[in-house]
A and B are shown apart, each in its own frame.
Chain A
């Protein structure tokens, strides 16, 4: 959101100066302003001086009181003094601070400010003063917010009040005051009333503003908002099927994997403890998505969310791929996006599990270990119905890289290793009733459907471990991994 929504004040033609007494440069130019007012008066032009902190200032000039900073804010004044040229009611030029040459050229008065130094920088406008800025933002932009205002009673503890209203995931949330939401909206160029998605299960229109409110609740910084918006949009596609993912009794929830330059720009973690706690961006982006689903969509555990056990990742599960340290093309590039694009990939995943292999030094041996782990997704005797994500750690990736294995080569190996014997998978085979239908006996059954295995690179530099995130019902009858480009 930008200040474009704010109407400019009506100003009379001529020169306009904005000053404050508290600024030494303004005090320095005060005599110049008095001089200028006299000179202009003789030519029928006007100088209007708006003063931010003291209507008596500058002496000898009839200043206009801007104590409420209305004019200063609407003119987007950042520095005092600012001198503006107004023609036909509109600003045609402005200069800031004091530069003798600049002021002379701007005003056309060749001998202006003879006794003053050549140059003095200005001071910050009061509109930018931290004690005033928030109030001004709400005063001028608060009306752009459409959401219902909820007044918490004076005696309510605001943290408790938000729990009581059912707006949290069980952890405390940040109260979404108008000023916090306006600040959050600064993180995107999208209009607050733009509809991002229809959020299941209630299938209600969710605006950028509603996502921003939930991002505030979750603890996001404004620069995370574009990622949250893309994640909400991706989660609510028919392909990803957030409704089914909520309603299922299965463990899964939305896993957000982020690629591209934005991951570095906002400080996401793709290294040590990438799937764990401790990084604000990772933690709050995933949480903001889940809070949006809860609050806007109405997807509440015990309501439409029918998970038997769920998983801790349903609080938040979001991480970045380590692209810089990866020997391979990123998940996002594999999925058809440019290397410099920033994307989110949503995956309907359960909690991550570890695969230990500290001894393999050949790609063949390590691939076999990882394949055994992948085979275990959902059940070693079940195939095709569940996708998976393999998070390859740097030390495991190095084994493949040193042997010259590309990601495609590793995939080819997995295809072979995970071509399972239908007879072993059949119901009752191995003394286990669970399994695939009998008619698959004697055939070869791939563990994963085409495109059902996602491979990303993340983690700290030490540890011969990788991680597997099992999926939920895959494909058009369940959830498709969904990648969207992140827009500013």
Chain B
């Protein structure tokens, strides 16, 4: 393995808490219902992801839900922080299309 491909070293830290919660971050609680929710549809810029999301949008709108569309500049990199911030402030849930 070349140095360029070597994985970044992991950092081990000691837990400063009373260790009452699992060390791994937990997923947010799933919403019980989508009623009244704003749904973000995130296109990661992979080919034909938009086809899938267009169809999802049609179905969600038909159910009376509000939809916001977002698009990552490139599927090769994590979403820019501004985009993540925008999604988290505008939406209650987000659906990400992993198309190919």
Rounded to whole Å, the gap between the CB of A294 and the closest CB of chain B is 9
Give the contacts of B4-45 with A (CB-CB under 8 A).
7-20, 23, 25
The total number of A-B Cβ pairs within 8 Å is 76
**How long is the Cα–Cα vector from A202 to B19 in the complex, in angstroms?**
12
Residues of B within 8 A of A176 (CB): 13-14, 16
**B6 nearest CB neighbor, chain A only:** A154
Cβ of A151: which chain B residues have Cβ within 8 Å of it?
10-12
User: Does A210 belong to the interface (CB within 8 Å)?
Assistant: yes
Q: Quick check: A149 and B17 within 8 Å, CB to CB?
A: no
Q: Is the C-beta of A171 less than 8 angstroms from some C-beta in chain B?
A: no
Contact between B10 and A148, CB atoms less than 8 A apart: no
Q: What is the interface size of chain A, counting residues whose CB is below 8 A from a CB of the partner?
A: 35
Known: A150-B23, A164-B25, A165-B25. A295 touches B17 (CB 8 A): yes
A423 close to B (CB within 8 Å):
no
**Contact of A327 with B by CB under 8 A:** no
A213 contact from B9, B11, B16, Cβ within 8 A: B16
By the criterion of a CB under 8 Å from any partner CB, how many residues of chain B are at the interface? 16
Would A154 and B8 be within 8 Å (CB), given that A148-B23, A164-B25 are in contact? yes
Name the residue of chain B whose CB is nearest to the CB of A203. Answer: B18
Interface set, chain B 34-67, CB cutoff 8 A to A = none
Q: By the criterion CB–CB under 8 Å, are A145 and B14 in contact?
A: yes
Flag if A178 contacts B12 (CB, 8 Å): yes
Distance of A149 Cα from B14 Cα, bound (Å): 5
Q: How far is the CB of A119 from chain B (nearest CB, A)?
A: 45
A162 on interface, CB distance cutoff 8 Å: yes
- CB pair B19 A148 closer than 8 Å: yes
Q: Report yes or no: A181 in contact with B18, Cβ–Cβ below 8 A.
A: no
User: Cβ of B12 and Cβ of A204 under 8 Å apart?
Assistant: no
Do B10 and A154 touch across chains, with their CB atoms under 8 A apart?
yes
B11 and A158 contact, CB distance less than 8 A: yes
A contacts, CB < 8 Å to B? 145, 147-155, 158, 161-162, 164-165, 167, 175-178, 181, 199, 202, 204, 206, 209-210, 213-214, 217, 291, 295-298
Measuring CB to CB, which residues of chain B are less than 8 angstroms from any residue of chain A?
Answer: 7-20, 23, 25
Could you name 5 residue pairs across A and B whose Cβ atoms are closer than 8 Å? A150-B15, A199-B18, A202-B18, A204-B20, A213-B15
List the 9 closest A-B pairs by CB distance, nearest first: A204-B18, A148-B15, A154-B8, A147-B14, A295-B16, A213-B16, A152-B11, A295-B17, A150-B23
